Amino acid sequence: MVLTASRATFMAVALEMLRMMPVQSSLSKRPEESGFDGIRFFVKVGRNMRGSTLSQRSKRWLASLATVLLTIAGVFGFSTQEAKADGVYCGYWVLGLIEAKYLQKGGLGGPLGCPTTNELNNPGMTGKRSEFGPRGIIYWKTYASRAHPVWGVILISWGETGWESGIYRYPVGDEFLAENAPAGPVFQQNFECGYIRSFSTFASRFYTCH
């Protein structure tokens, strides 16, 4: 998700080597004809070849493919966590760093619960988001190293300013406890141009990009 061009290179090399690989599998279609599904395609290939007798030439091709893919992954810095990312929850895809944050917050058993959309492009192609109904949204900005959820009264207040396209722009951190006031805990979330504090049932905005 973060390294779009790198992933494209990764998959292009993988597809080319698979086309050249001298192995007869039970796949009826080439991956691009059936809708290429990333790592899951290679899992399917592996399952289809179980029990098959591979020639030495085929084994060499498989070894070469693995070497090339691992090399590319190292060059472009794919982390183990990123390589394992991307899953389906309640029928919707949650991907990459957004999924990593979703799982960190408890996944299906956490406060966000089931996603209600597949991953969406933000206006102007400035990032991605996954929505979880009224429970919140996880945002990722292009080139950012992390994704951040926005929820509750902070989400409502931020939305009133135009979401990520508004004056506060993207979140730069998760919500955190700012203080334990006599009337109750005060939570805060920082954005590119300010911060928003929640006081139980209402929120206050503080704009800093004057």
Residue 132 within a domain: yes
pLDDT at residue 3 tops 70: no
> Are 186 and 101 contained in the same domain?
yes
Residue 88 within a domain: no
Domain that holds residue 148: 97-207
Mean pLDDT along residues 107-131: 97
- Three-state DSSP string of the chain: CCCHHHHHHHHHHHHHHHHHCCCCCCCCCCHHHHCCCCHHHHHHHHHHHCCCCCCHHHHHHHHHHHHHHHHHHHHCCCCHHHHHCCEEECCEEECHHHHHHHHHCCHHHCCCCCCCCCCEECHHHCEEEEEECECCEEEEECCCCCCEEECHHHHHHHHHCCHHHCCCCCECCCCEEEEEECCEEEEEEEECCEEEEEECCEEEEEECCC
> Are 186 and 103 contained in the same domain?
yes
Q: Which of 35, 50, 82 is the last residue of a domain?
A: 82
> Are 77 and 106 contained in the same domain?
no
> Are 49 and 108 contained in the same domain?
no
Confidence of residue 194 (pLDDT cuts 50, 70, 90): very high
Residue 55 within a domain: yes
Residue 173 within a domain: yes
> Are 121 and 196 contained in the same domain?
yes
> Are 110 and 59 contained in the same domain?
no
Residue 12 within a domain: yes
> Are 101 and 74 contained in the same domain?
no
> Are 113 and 59 contained in the same domain?
no
> Are 138 and 187 contained in the same domain?
yes
Tens-place pLDDT, residues 51-85: 445 566 655 655 566 555 544 444 444 333 343 45
> Are 9 and 110 contained in the same domain?
no
Q: Which of 82, 107, 128 is the last residue of a domain?
A: 82
Looking at the structure of the chain, the number of domains it has is 2
Residue 67 within a domain: yes
Q: Which of 58, 82, 106 is the last residue of a domain?
A: 82
What is the chain's mean pLDDT, rounded?
77
> Are 136 and 201 contained in the same domain?
yes
Residue 33 within a domain: yes
Tens-place pLDDT, residues 150-192: 999 999 999 999 999 999 999 999 999 999 999 899 999 999 9
Residue 91 within a domain: no
> Are 185 and 117 contained in the same domain?
yes
